[in-house]
Structure 1
Amino acid sequence: MKLLSNRWLGKGTAVMLAATLLLAGCSGAGQSGNAANNAGKTDNAATSKGSNATENGQNTAPAGKPFEGKSITLVTANHPWGDAVKPLIPEFEAATGMKVNVQSYFEDQLTQKLTVQFTAGSETPDVFMYRPLQEGKLFFKNGWTAALDDYVGKNPDYDFADLSESAVGSAKVDGKLAGIPIITEQEILYYRKDLLEQAGIAVPKTIDELAAAAKQLHDPGKEIYGFVARGQRSPLVTQVSSFLYSEGGDFTNGETATINTPEAVKAFTTYGTLLKDYGPPGVLNMSWPQAIGIFAQGKVAFYTDANSIYKNATDPEKSQIADKVGFAKFPAGAAGSKPYNITSWGLAMNAKAVDKEAAWAFIEWATSKEIVLKTQQLGNPGARSSVWNNPEGTTGFPAEMVSVIKESVQGGVDHDRPTVINVGEARDAVGEIVQKVITGETDVQKVADQANAALQKIIDSEKSK
């Protein structure tokens, strides 16, 4: 709250904010409403005194709240971050005088609702959750989201530089900041500690070591499979990306498609072969719920995917191997270990919001060090380095995973799919290559050349947009 008091508030309200924070800190996030109520009483008293002073002929303004009487609409996805931040909002309302009207939708409904409202030129919602790498470019290119570059440096206490560089990169479009990261993800390696110990196998540090270990542990007769990951055409793209970067490739180079380079073909072949030779039956139909589901059943030795879904493997109510799961940094390829380090969810501002200062005030608060600490303690991986380096900020994650996350952030890549407007078509083009490998295609280069031409066509069609 220091960032709010320094930027907008007078001394009287700053004192009130300090009291609010103290009460909230003592009572816990679940009792934030009590703190807000107490803060509201303090402010009401101050306002009453200010009114009396005016009536006595003095021109003394109330010890005010900077956005008294104003309101904004916040739209969130039905997501753990939304669940974590909602109980904290009364603190913000009590401090600023602003009313925050919250609406929540399922992921697909959210995108549809936002698209309809923005197409119609709606001034609401003022602030909304969005997926920077999925619809961020579409929203920004259409003029639906406001660039935030001029806002982030106004208040030194906000400390924009504290946000992970690659996470911020995910939220940029054409060099402009289209949103602020709230949830980050890195691809990591999940593994069965017990199986590796029994076989005397060290945790793989390279992709070649991963392939060798998967082969050694693969025993389908006992329903133990060496490797699992997403095999569905579109979902697999985000996870094969770390293989691609670690081999020295990428989806594009500027406005040139590069999914048929030697590095790309090697990466796609490796990923597809791991699933073809050492994966469980049905991998072609697996997205992350199915893949981590079979891993949690104790049937797979290695699994690569986002760190954010780890509880599906460590929660005893969901997993048969909850106490046997290990976490490791993504294994290195020819170019080293280069997992994606992305913003999976961010907060953005409607370009047509009537009161952009009020909208930014909420975004600044919701992504401040204090609030990120509180939401991250509930298992929502944020983008602030200071919070990850704070022992209190890592209590919601296994200790082994924390060290993996910190390593992965260093040198992580800021995207996990082609950065185009028509993301769905682009993902289908890339995913087709891997699926052909899984089904036994031998001329992978030919398939990659065809897919590359399809991706280039998408890129070219968007150049004028």
Structure 2
Amino acid sequence: MTLKKFSVLGLTLATALTATACGGGGGKENAASPAGEQQKQPMAGQKITVFAVNHPWTDALKPEIPKFEKETGIKVDLQVFAEEQLQQKLAVQFTTGADTPDVFTYRPYMDKILYAKNGWTAPLDDYANRNAEYDFGDFSKATIEASTIDGKLMSIPLWTDQFILYYRKDILEENNIPVPKTMAEFEEAMKKLHKPKDDFYGFVARGQRNALVTAVSSFVFSEGGDFMVGDKAAVNTPEAIRGFKLYADLVKNYGPQGVLNMNWAQAIGLFAQGKAAFYVDSAALFKNATDPEKSLVADKVGFGVFPAGSAGAKPYSTASWSLAMNPQSKGKDAAWAFMEWATNKENALMIQQSGVPGARDSVWASKEGTAEFPEDLAAAIQETMNIGVDHFVPQVMSVTESRDVVGAIVVKAILGEDIQAAADLANEELQAIIDKDNSQ
């Protein structure tokens, strides 16, 4: 089916898919005639292959796929893989120029530059704006920016990630401390509550070199810095160094021993044991702190917007995973029909109700969309989606390598080394990575 023909059928297909998501779409008026059947299944006989990561998003969507198949006539071969296996499988398929999968999930923050440079993702701008009922403008601005490269939309955001403040409501109330709104208030509260002799700490956060980069990013942004400016490394600017130093000082002065060995799991684990007043990290981790089976303080956890630095509150808000199209697909119209259906408002709401934080503003603005989230968490996520920065790692192809370089700045500062010297060295190393990537 040509793009022109698909456009003619767009309204019919969109209406059918919307009815399906609402539980309808099985109208008897089409059942009796071949013409009606053709209208009901506008793309009958086509088949697409979808590679998806093993995740609650996939678990929630999978049972709904037969409805999509019935309404469109498109047969969907959904193949689900663990994250590492999916990356390997996609690399093999795309390196060999395979026309499958037609649609796939991937991590734009890690892969979008590499995939776009290699021609492994098809631009989606024309598709996304074709159907007014899809309401592409409903996706949060930061997640669309995170899914865009060189002005072209390369994927549709599926679930999101926001950097927020976790705190102990009971501890703050007992000590008459308001939820901090600025970094100065944040540190002052930590100082008052830090009691290491009692095995209670003012603050806990990631300390492992590679893992801490996503956490420290919001501190850097809120001091007016970034990892890069264009194609130039910028981790040794005064603004960036203020952010790195602030994070390092808070972890060192108000955190537990052994912080350099902590990834998110260890950090939130300590917070969930009731041993810290504050924790900062991804909103998507919240159940680790609020589930009574995982947390000793499940009913005592509050959530807030990340405190403002000297440049304001600039926490990250980005797309964790997105849905993309293979440029070699022989069924692009069918592939887009699936992508549009999977990410429409009805399915976005349904999936978010299962606890997966989505990317559509309208879903977050609805009571149904926030029912599975604590009220203050939903409010913090919404505000962060409005003000957030669209990335949390250097925007390069060699993301893992760059994270090691940047994370070393904080590790050295925690260990008491000269942070300016550490940042200058890291800046040289990051620039070398940028130049290497750009030369490929």
TM-score, length-scaled by structure 2: 0.94
Give the one of 116, 124, 128 matched to 2:104.
Answer: 128
Q: Is 2:431 the counterpart of 1:456?
A: yes
Partner of 1:106: 82
Aligned: 1:83 with 2:67? no
Gapped regions of structure 2 (runs ≥ 5): 1-5
Paired residues of 2:142 and 2:390 also in contact (CA < 8 A): yes
Quick one: distance in 2 between partners of 1:14 and 1:430? 46
Query: Which amino acid letter does the alignment assign opposite residue 123 of structure 2?
Result: A
Does 2:25 match 1:50?
no
CA distance in 1, matches of 2:302, 2:68: 39
Give, in whole Å, the separation in 2 of the partners of 1:459 and 1:437. Answer: 24
The aligned counterpart of 1:158 is 134
How far apart, CA to CA, are the structure 1 residues paired with 2:22 and 2:336?
Answer: 24
Q: How far apart are the structure 2 equivalents of 1:454 and 1:216?
A: 39
Match of 1:274 among 250, 261, 267: 250
Deviations 1:393-430 (A, max 9, x none): 11121111111111112221111110000111111111
Matched residue SS, 1:92: helix
1:251 matched to which residue of 2? 227
**Partners in 1 of 2:199 and 2:283 — Cα distance?**
25
Q: Secondary structure at the match of 1:380?
A: coil
State yes or no: 1:355 paired with 2:331.
Answer: yes
Task: Name the % identity.
Answer: 54
- Structure 1 CA distance for aligned equivalents of residues 209 and 19 of structure 2: 53
List runs of 5+ in structure 1 lacking aligned partners. 25-34, 52-59
Residue 392 of structure 1 aligns with which residue?
Answer: 368
For the pair 1:185 / 2:158, whether they are aligned, the reply is no
Q: Give 1:299 shift.
A: 0.8
Q: Does 1:307 align with 2:283?
A: yes
Does the CA-based 8 Å contact 2:17-2:341 persist in structure 1? no
- Give secondary structure in 1 for the equivalent of 2:164: strand
Kept in 2: contact 1:10–1:63 (CA 8 A): no
Q: Residue 319 of structure 2 aligns to which amino acid in structure 1?
A: T
Q: Which amino acid aligns with 1:181?
A: P
Matches within 5 A, 1:231-380: 231-380=207-356
- For 1:444, the equivalent position in structure 2 comes to 419
Name the SS of the counterpart of 2:387 in structure 1.
Answer: coil
Alpha-carbon distance in structure 2 between the residues aligned to 1:212 and 1:446: 28
Distance 2:89 2:360 in 1: 30
d(CA) in 2 for partners of 1:354, 1:199: 64
Q: Which residue of 2 aligns with 1:167?
A: 143
SS at match of 1:185: strand
Give the deviation of 1:331 after TM superposition: 0.4
Does the 8 Å CA contact 2:21/2:347 hold for their aligned counterparts?
A: no
- 1:30 corresponds in structure 2 to none
Task: Map Cα deviations across residues 272-297 of structure 1 (whole Å, 9 max, x no partner).
Answer: 11111211222111111111111111
- Residue 127 (structure 1) shift: 0.8
1:433/1:447 contact within 8 Å kept: yes
Give distance in 2, aligned partners of 1:278 and 1:22. Answer: 50
Q: CA deviation at 1:14?
A: 8.3
1:129–1:347: 8 Å Cα contact kept in structure 2? yes
User: Do the aligned partners of 1:16 and 1:42 also contact (CA within 8 Å) in 2?
Assistant: no
SS in 2 for 1:365: helix
Whichever residue aligns with residue 438 of structure 2, its letter is K
Aligned-residue offset at 1:353: 0.9
The match for 2:3 is none
In structure 2, C-alpha distance between the alignment counterparts of 1:365 and 1:392, rounded to whole Å: 19
- Greater radius of gyration (CA): 1
Aligned pair in 2 of structure 1 residues 77, 198: CA closer, same or farther (>3 Å)?
same
Aligned partners of 2:17 and 2:197: how far apart in 1?
Answer: 64
Q: Distance in 1 between matches of 2:303 and 2:18?
A: 40
Q: Which residue of 1 aligns with 2:9?
A: 8
1:445 aligned partner, one-letter code = Q
Taking a change above 3 Å as real, the CA distance of residues 242 and 15 of structure 1, as seen in their structure-2 partners, is closer
In structure 1, distance between residues paired with 2:372 and 2:365: 13
Distance 1:327 1:17, change over 3 A: closer
SS at match of 1:150: helix
User: Are the structure 2 counterparts of residues 291 and 22 from structure 1 closer, same or farther at C-alpha, using a change threshold of 3 Å?
Assistant: closer
Displacement of 1:381 in angstroms is: 1.2
1:148-198 Cα shifts (integer Å, max 9, x gaps):
112111111111111111110001122211101111111000001111112
Alpha-carbon distance, 1:19 to partner? 6.3
Distance 1:411 1:461 in 2: 33
Compute the displacement of 1:45 (Å): 3.7
Aligned length, in residue pairs: 435
Specify the alignment match of 1:27 in structure 2.
Answer: none
- How far is the alpha carbon of 1:43 from its aligned partner? 9.1
Q: Deviations over 1:107-136 (max 9, x none)?
A: 122112111211121111111111101111
What is the CA–CA distance in structure 2 between the aligned matches of 1:63 and 1:254, rounded to whole Å? 49
CA distance in 1, matches of 2:8, 2:78: 25
**TM-score, structure 1 length as denominator?**
0.89
CA contact (8 A) 1:226 1:301 kept: yes
406-415 or 295-304, which moves further after superposition?
A: 406-415
Where 1:410 maps in the other structure, the secondary structure is: helix
For residues 126 and 19 of structure 2, the distance between their equivalents in structure 1, rounded to whole angstroms, comes to 31
Distance 2:46 2:291 in 1: 42
Please say if residues 48 and 101 of structure 2, whose CA atoms lie closer than 8 Å, have aligned partners that are also in contact.
yes
Distance 2:429 2:82 in 1: 31
Counterpart secondary structure, 1:323: helix
Which one-letter code corresponds to 2:403 in the other structure? R
In the alignment, the residues of structure 2 paired with residue 367 and residue 380 of structure 1 have an alpha-carbon distance, to the nearest angstrom, of 13
Which amino acid is the alignment partner of residue 143 of structure 2?
A
- 1: CA distance, partners of 2:164 / 2:10: 43
Return closer, same or farther for 1:18/1:345 CA change in 2, 3 Å cut-off: closer
**Aligned partner letter, 2:369:** G
Counterpart contact for 1:16–1:43, Cα < 8 Å: no
In terms of mean alpha carbon deviation, does 215-224 or 183-192 score higher? Answer: 215-224
Which letter maps to 2:34? G
